[in-house]
Structure 1
Amino acid sequence: MAVEGKDRTREMEAGAQLLSGQLGKTVQRLRKAYNLSLSELAEQSGVAKSIISQIERNETNPTLATIWRLSQALDVSIERVLASGDDEPFIEKSSRADTPILVSDDGRMRLAIIGWIKTVEWLQWYDIQADPGAVLESEAHQRGSIECLSVIEGEFTVEVAGVLQFARAGESLRYRCDRPHTVRCTSDGPARAVMVCILKAAVMD
C-alpha cells in the first residue's frame, strides 16, 4: 500500500485514544446510575474489577468483547456505551478533503477510508474505486478476521489461499482475511465496491 505502516499505526492509536477517553466516563456514569460498586459490576459482567477501574480512569483500551460484557451488565446497547455524549443527539460529517485515501501498489485501486476512526481497531470500511486490471494485495490480518466486499459497479475477483471467487454489481463476497489475500478488478471498465473488515477484536468470546 502507498500509505506507510507508521501512518496506519498512528491512526489506530489516535482512534483508540479517542475511544478510551469517552468510554471511561460513560462506563462510570452508567455504573453510578445503577448504584453499582466496581466489585458488583465486575461480578455481573465477568470483567475483572481492576480492568473496569483502568477503563474508568482511561488507562487501557478495552476489546469489543469487554465492552459487550459491560454493556450487558449495564443493560444498555454497545452503541450507548460508545456514545459521545450523555443523551445528546450525535451527528458527524466528514468532507471529501478530510477522507484519507489509500492507493494500491499499482496505483490503479483507491480506497477511501469512510469508517469511523473510533472503531478502526475492530471495524474498518472503505469505498473502493478501481480501474480495469487493478490489483490490491494484502498481508494477513489478525487471526479470525473477516472481510466483506460488496460490489456496486463492475466486477471484482478475490483470491484467498489459492481459492478464487468473483462478484458482480449487487453481489457480495465474504472471506477470511487472516491469510494473504488479493482483490482484483476483473471488469472491462471502472469498478466500485464497499469493503468492510471485521478484525479479531470484534469477535466476542
Structure 2
Amino acid sequence: MPRKAAARVKDVPAEAISRHLGARVKQLRSDRNWSLEALAGASGVSRSMLSEIEREQANPTLAVTLRIAQAFGMSLSELIETPGVSSSITVIRHHDRAFHYRSDDHCRIRTLSPLNLEKDVEFYEVELQPGGALRSAPHFEGTREFLTVVKGLVKVESNEDTDTLHHGDSTTYRADVPHAILNAGKGEALVFLVVIYR
C-alpha cells in the first residue's frame, strides 16, 4: 500500500474499514452486473465469504482482500480507501481494467468517471475500429450525449438524423431515442463521450 494511502487509513477504526469494504465490494459488483458466483470465480474467494463481507459479517484477511481487489483490477489501497480520509483527488489509471466498460475487436469503451458515484453525468473514451459501431437503445427521457472526435472520421445517428464528424469536431444530440456512433473512416476512430441525464 502506498505510504500516503496507509497514512490516511491507519487512524480509521477497523470496524469502519470493514463496513466500508462490504459496501464497496457490493457496489463494485453491482456496477459490473456480476453475481456473487462471478466474483467468486474471478477472485478465488468463496461465495459464502463474499456474501458475509458484503453483509459486514466477516473481517477478511489481507490476502482475501487483495484477491478481491485484483478481481476488480484495483490495488488494495484503491479498494479499501474510505470516504473522508482519502485524497480529494480521484485518479482513474489508463491500465485499470475495472474501468473498461466494454472491450472487443470492434469497440472499446473506457469510463473516465468514478464507478462508485451516483451521477447525472458520465464520461467515456470510445475507440472504434474500422467498421465498428456503438449502437444504443433510448436512454431516459431528456438524456443528451456530447461527443468530440479526437481521431478519425465518425458518423453519428440520432433517431432519423445523421451527421459526419472529423478530427476536432464536436456534437450534441438526443440520446432518449435510438442512437449510434459509427466509424466512417478506414482507420481507428477515438472519441470522448459525455452522457448527461436530465
SS in structure 2 at match of 1:141: coil
Query: Given the alignment of the two structures, is residue 10 of structure 1 paired with residue 30 of structure 2, yes or no?
Result: yes
The alpha carbon displacement at 1:118 in A equals 4.4
Q: How does 1:107-186 map to 2 (within 5 A)?
A: 107-186=105-184
TM-score for both structures, normalised by structure 2: 0.54
Task: For 2:30, give the aligned amino acid.
Answer: R
Q: Give structure 2 stretches of 5+ with no counterpart.
A: 1-26, 34-82
C-alpha distance after superposition, 1:25-67 (max 9, x if no partner):
xxxxxxxxxxxxxxxxxxxxxxxxxxxxxxxxxxxxxxxxxxx
AA partner of residue 108 (structure 1): H
Alignment match, 1:39:
none
Misfit runs of 4+, over 6 Å: none
Pair 1:85–1:122, CA change in 2 (3 A): same
* Aligned-partner Cα distance in 2 for 1:169–1:9: 36
Higher relative contact order (CA 8 A, sep 6+): 1
8 Å contact kept, 2:105–2:129: no
- Letter of the structure 1 residue corresponding to residue 177 of structure 2: R
How many aligned positions are there? Answer: 122
Aligned-pair Cα RMSD in Å:
2.8
Indicate conservation of the 8 Å contact 1:103/1:111, yes or no.
Answer: yes
In structure 1, C-alpha distance between the alignment counterparts of 2:183 and 2:158, rounded to whole Å:
15
Q: Is the 8 A contact 1:102 1:112 kept in 2?
A: yes
Task: Report the Cα distance in structure 1 between the residues aligned to 2:106 and 2:163, rounded to whole angstroms.
Answer: 20
Counterpart position of 1:197: 195
Residues 99 and 112 in structure 1, CA contact (< 8 A), matched pair in contact too: no
TM-score normalized by the length of structure 1: 0.52
Identity %: 24
